[in-house]
Amino acid sequence: MNDLSGQNKDISPSFVSDYMEGAHPEVMRRLLETNLERGAAYGADSYSESARVRIRKACNAPDAQVYFLSGGTQTNAVMIDTLIAPYQGVIGAESAHINTHEAGAVEFCGHKVISVPAKDGRINADSIRDTMEAWLSDESREHVVMPGMVYISHPTELGTLYPLAELKAISEVCRKYGLKLYLDGARMAYALGCPENDVSLADIASLCDAFYIGGAKCGALFGEAAVFPGGGIKSFTTILKQHGALFAKGKVIGTQFDALFTDGLYEKIGRKANETAEKLKAVFASKGVELAAPSPTNQVFVLLTQKQLDDLDGKVGFSRWAPVPDGRWIVRFAVNWATSDEEIAKLAELL
């Protein structure tokens, strides 16, 4: 029998994660519409090409290489493994997804994750500079893993955003020290659809060496778009195959991104969810529940007491993140395009 953990219960309303439904109806419509068309495999079909053209345009990166993969951890691992030398490591926040919830996928490819402290999920240019200066001034640095890349996520794992000024500072320090900059955009739609956000895809493309635009958590049935904005990556199809990450029916993911990048759908999906998250935050505020992180996007982190947890348990779905010293828990409530006002109301009632 399978070894499935208890975290994954079917409960309604559920705020367990933002990837529990199928696809946004418009994405599904396009998949259905093109279902019987035959397309060349491995991303050489016309829908994938159309999606690539749209993404290059959205990123203002005409030379970008764009690939469609089927999972986020896979995308992170293969892109990191491609961009840094086999003996280099990747700098990331203590709370970085690659450092916490990817089961060592980066280490599986042979690279150390060099963790630096983070505030609200964000690292900053100073801590990168300090890490590099410490390494450079170490007499034994040949024996110490050489940092080769900085990994950030936007939105971060805590739903927060990098201001453009900070992203620029990080990019600058990376270029100064010869580090690649990689941005995990698993929830990019929620950044793009957020009024607080001042970072565009074009900014990301000009400041980063690589990034991915998340599909699975942002309205797609599944799939992620990996982008090397400056191009120049050799043999990436082979690298994907070697990592078990080359998706055979490229058309299936390409069609979805073609839909997501038509008429601003991707951003709309993010905006809608963020608005729902604001309603959720209002509910928590009205009940005196404290926010655990200042997230302006679709993930809401609150502090709940054990009693509150017990009351909600089994009646509403959520994720326990971590305990805090005062006995409360950081708990995540995630919403997406499919979360209804009725669900928010039901949660309010339960609280």
Residues 101 to 130 in contact with a second copy, rule: CB under 8 A: 101-105, 107-108, 110-113
Stretch that binds a second copy, among 173-181, 237-245, 262-270, 274-282 (CB under 8 A): 237-245
Compute the least distance from the CB of residue 88 to a second copy, in Å: 9
53 binds a second copy (CB under 8 A): no
How many residues sit in the footprint of a second copy (CB under 8 A)?
Answer: 104
Q: Of how many residues is the chain composed?
A: 351
- And the tokens for 291? 């926010």
Give Cα separations from 163 to 2, 32, 127, 170, 213 (angstroms). 43, 39, 16, 11, 18
H-helix or E-strand spanning residue 285: helix 265-286
Footprint of a second copy on 143-162 (CB under 8 A): 143-146
Instruction: Measure the CA dihedral 155/66/52/57, to 10°.
Output: 60
Q: Which is nearer to a second copy, 179 or 216 (CB)?
A: 216
Query: By C-beta, is 193 or 250 nearer to a second copy?
Result: 250
Among 122, 154, 180, 243, binds a second copy (CB under 8 A): 243
Q: Tell me how crowded residue 282 is: count the other CB atoms within 10 A of its CB.
A: 12
Q: What element of type H or E holds 300?
A: strand 299-304
Pick from 50, 57, 60, 100 the residue near a second copy by CB under 8 A: 100
Contact positions with a second copy (CB under 8 A) in 192-221: 216-217, 221
The answer to whether the bond into 155 is cis (omega within 30° of 0) is: yes
CB closer to a second copy out of 14 and 60: 14
Question: In the set 58, 89, 212, 347, which binds a second copy (CB under 8 A)?
Answer: 89
CB of 212 to a second copy, least distance (A): 13
All residues at 6 or more sequence positions from 80 whose CB lies less than 8 Å from its CB, including other chains: 90, 98, 106, 109, 111, 149, 151, 182
Q: Work out the number of other CB atoms within 10 angstroms of the CB of residue 305.
A: 13
Among 175, 176, 241, 287, binds a second copy (CB under 8 A): 241
Tell me if 222 contacts a second copy by CB under 8 A.
Answer: yes
Whether 283 and 50 have beta carbons less than 8 Å apart is answered as no
Q: How far is the CB of 229 from a second copy (least distance, A)?
A: 12
The contact pattern for a second copy, residues 319-338, with x = CB under 8 A and - = no contact, is: xx-xx--------------x
Q: How far apart are CA 212 and CA 226, in angstroms?
A: 4
Is 151:199 a contact under the CB 8 Å cutoff? no
Is 315 a binding residue for a second copy by CB under 8 A? The answer is no
Quickly tell me which residue has 């009632």 as its tokens: 349
In the bound state with a second copy, the residue whose beta carbon lies nearer, of 264 and 323, is: 323
Q: Is 344 left (phi over 0), alpha (psi -120 to 50) or beta?
A: alpha
Among the candidate windows 118-126, 193-201, 278-286, 314-322, which touches a second copy by CB under 8 A? 314-322
CB of 286 to a second copy, least distance (A): 25
341 binds a second copy (CB under 8 A): no
Residues in 56-75 that interact with a second copy by CB under 8 A = 63, 65-67, 70-75
Which of 85, 282, 285, 345: binder of a second copy (CB under 8 A)? 85
CA dist., res. 209 & res. 325, Å (int): 39
* Residue 295 beta carbon to a second copy: minimum distance, rounded to whole angstroms: 18
Query: Does the footprint of a second copy cover residue 77 (CB under 8 A)?
Result: yes
Query: Is residue 231 near a second copy by the rule CB under 8 A?
Result: yes
Q: Is 52 exposed, middle or buried (0-12, 13-18, 19+ CB in 10 A)?
A: buried
Beta-strand ranges (E) seen in 37-112 are 65-69, 88-93
From the list 124-132, 192-200, 205-213, 249-257, the region that binds a second copy by CB under 8 A is 249-257
Nearest to a second copy of 178, 264 (CB atom) = 178
